[in-house]
Amino acid sequence: MRIEVRERVAAHGDTVRYAKLRGMHDSLSTGPRWYVISLRPRGQHQRLRDVARRAGHAVIALSPLRIRVHEDTASRDALREALGCDVVLFTSPNAVAAARALEPLPDDLPAIAIGDGTRRALRRAGVDHVEAPARMDSEGVLNLPRLSDVTDQRIGLVSAPGGRDRIAPALRARGAQVLRADIYSREPCGLPRTGLRALRGAQGRLALALTSGEALDLAVAQLEPADLARLRQARVLAASDRLVEHARRLGFADVLRADGPRPSQLVAALNRAPG
């Protein structure tokens, strides 16, 4: 009896190993299921690449932006003032990274993050308690109970020039003093030649991970007509309703609404869609 059981287990193990090897062979034979185009800033594609790879997809890095930290004295002073406020609001993971590069973040910092990615960046930076809205945008932040009554409070806003322009005016209208620290910039840059070659040579279906209207505008403006026509064939994975409409205005027909901007949410939208 024991010999028979061992034989069955061994046979089952062989079957599982065969299935895994067959799946790897099929993947290598047929190539990626989708080519996911990433418009993230330069050097920030790895998380999407890892998530996409696990789902059988490949990533084409097509950065139209790069991040520059403001290291001048005025920016450092503005950050110190913002960190000393009653509440400190960070608008992106890049804002957290730039702040860490300029100034240590206290572990008891009264922090609010605009989304889960920013919250996790703050926790990795050693901040013990971070509040974040379920809806990861400006409206979600402004609807937090903590910000409903801010009369005479000082609120630090750590961001980039032009970023999240609705938050500061809304908080000031509620009676808060907003101290803004624009400590990094998103600077336009030329599309990488490797990414353009990959776009032109991709033998398969294209998807576009869309988390920034600014990045899409910059990419569209730089592409040659043939490359732009190819990009418009992509299935857009939009992180918000606003980005859904933005993509459609720019001529993209196949647009899906993802649950949010995280790589896992973008890839999940692609995986659950028919076709």
Q: What DSSP state is assigned to residue 229? A: H
| Alpha-carbon span 184 to 275, nearest angstrom | 40
Q: In the chain, helix, strand, coil percent, each to 5?
A: 45, 20, 35
Q: What DSSP state is assigned to residue 145? A: G
The yes-or-no verdict on residue 245 having pLDDT over 50 is: yes
| Alpha-carbon span 41 to 92, nearest angstrom | 13
The yes-or-no verdict on residue 239 having pLDDT over 60 is: yes
CA distances from 41 to 115, 192, 225 (A): 18, 11, 23
Quick one: tokens of 55?
A: 């789902």
The whole-number average pLDDT for the span 154-164 is 87
Q: What DSSP state is assigned to residue 160? A: -
Which residue did the predictor score with more confidence, 139 or 6? Answer: 139
pTM above 0.85, yes or no: no
Contacts (Cβ under 8 Å, ≥6 apart) of 86: 110, 153, 154, 155
Asked if the domains 31-64+189-272 and 67-186 are classified in one and the same CATH topology, the answer is yes
The whole-number average pLDDT for the span 149-176 is 91
- Name the β-bridge partners of 42: none
Quick one: tokens of 146?
A: 């903590």
Q: What is the pLDDT of residue 268?
A: 97
Quote the mean pLDDT of the chain: 89
Among 16-30, 58-72, 86-100, 248-262, whose mean pLDDT is lowest?
16-30
The yes-or-no verdict on residue 22 having pLDDT over 80 is: no
Report the largest interatomic distance among the alpha carbons of the chain, rounded to a whole angstrom: 79
Contacts (Cβ under 8 Å, ≥6 apart) of 105: 83, 96, 99, 122, 125, 126, 127
The pLDDT confidence band at residue 97, using thresholds 50, 70 and 90, is very high
What sign for the dihedral angle of Cα 141, 144, 148, 150?
A: negative
Residue-wise DSSP of 41-64: PTT--HHHHHHHHHTT-EEEE---
Q: What is the pLDDT of residue 30?
A: 57
Domain ranges of the chain: 31-64+189-272, 67-186
CATH class for the region spanning 31-64+189-272: alpha beta
Q: What is the pLDDT of residue 1?
A: 44
- Name the β-bridge partners of 60: 37
Q: What is the pLDDT of residue 26?
A: 42
Condensed to tens digits (0 to 9), the pLDDT of residues 42-53 reads 999 999 999 999
Beta strands in the chain (DSSP E): 34-38, 58-61, 65-69, 87-90, 111-113, 130-131, 154-159, 177-182, 184-188, 205-210, 235-238, 255-257
The yes-or-no verdict on residue 154 having pLDDT over 90 is: yes
* Helix/strand/coil for 208: strand
CATH class for the region spanning 67-186: alpha beta
